[in-house]
Amino acid sequence: MTVPASTPSSGYPPAHGTRGDSVLAPRALAYLNVREGATTVLVTTALAVAIAFLPDPGWRTALWVIVGILAVVSLLIELPWLNRKQVENTSYTATADYVYITRGWLWRRTTVIATAQILNVEVVQGPLLRAFDAVSVRFTCISEVEGLGPLEPRAAERIRATVLHAQAEPAR
C-alpha cells in the first residue's frame, strides 16, 4: 500500500525521518548549553568532593584526573557539537490529526501521536526555560508521555490549541 505524501489536509503523517514543518526555539541551543554546562559542573563538583574522602591518595589522584578529563570532554564535545546537532535535527509538525516529532542525527527517532490518543497537553516553563523565553510541551497518552522543547511560548500554545481543538471537534 502506498501512503500519499503528507499535506496538512491529508491526515497522513510524513514518512519516517522527514523533517517537520517547525523547529525548536531560536534560543534552544543556548538553553541546552547552559543546562548541560551547569549539570557538568555540578556533577564534577559532587564527584570531586566524594573522591576527596577516599583514604588512598593514589586512588584519589587517579579518580580526580579521570573526572577532570570527563568534564573537559563533556564541555568541549557536548556543548559545542552534540547540542548543536540535537537542535538542528529536531523538528515537528502539529495538525488536527497528529503530532509528528523527529529527532536525531545518527539515530533517527520519529514519533507520531494521533491527536485522538492525546489525553493532555502540558506546557512547562521552569526558571531556566523562563530565562531563555522558552517552554517545553509534554503530550500525555495512555501509555507514555512525549516531550518536545524548548519551544517559543507562541509555538507551544499553537500546538496545544491545535490538539485540543481537534479533540473538541465531533468525530469525522
Task: For residues 6-31, give the mean pLDDT.
Answer: 82
pLDDT of residue 169: 74
Place of cell 517537520: 20
Task: For residues 122-139, give the mean pLDDT.
Answer: 95
AA identity, residue 65: V
Predicted confidence (pLDDT) at residue 3 exceeds the cutoff of 70: no
For the chain, give the percent of residues with pLDDT over 70.
92
Predicted confidence (pLDDT) at residue 96 exceeds the cutoff of 80: yes
Lowest mean pLDDT among 6-15, 46-55, 87-96, 145-154: 6-15
pLDDT of residue 16: 86
Mean pLDDT of the chain: 89
Spell out the alpha helix ranges (H) of 11-137. Answer: 28-52, 57-73, 83-88, 127-131
Higher pLDDT, 103 or 143: 103
Q: Where are the domains of the chain?
A: 30-86, 90-168
Confidence of residue 10 (pLDDT cuts 50, 70, 90): low
Cell numbers for 98: 497528529
pLDDT of residue 1: 33
Which uninterrupted H or E stretch holds 42?
helix 28-52
Chosen CATH of 90-168 out of 3.40.50.800, 3.40.50.300, 3.30.460.20, 2.30.29.30: 2.30.29.30
pLDDT of residue 120: 92
pLDDT of residue 166: 87
Whether the Cβ atoms of residue 51 and residue 121 lie closer than 8 Å to each other: no
Helix 57-73 vs helix 28-52: angle between axes, to the nearest 10 degrees? 180
Predicted confidence (pLDDT) at residue 40 exceeds the cutoff of 90: yes
Confidence of residue 172 (pLDDT cuts 50, 70, 90): low
In the sheet with 91-94, reading across from the earlier edge strand, the strands are 22-23, 91-94, 98-103, 109-114
Distance separating alpha carbons of residues 31 and 25, to the nearest angstrom: 10
Confidence of residue 43 (pLDDT cuts 50, 70, 90): very high
CA 10-136-38 angle, to 5 degrees, is: 140
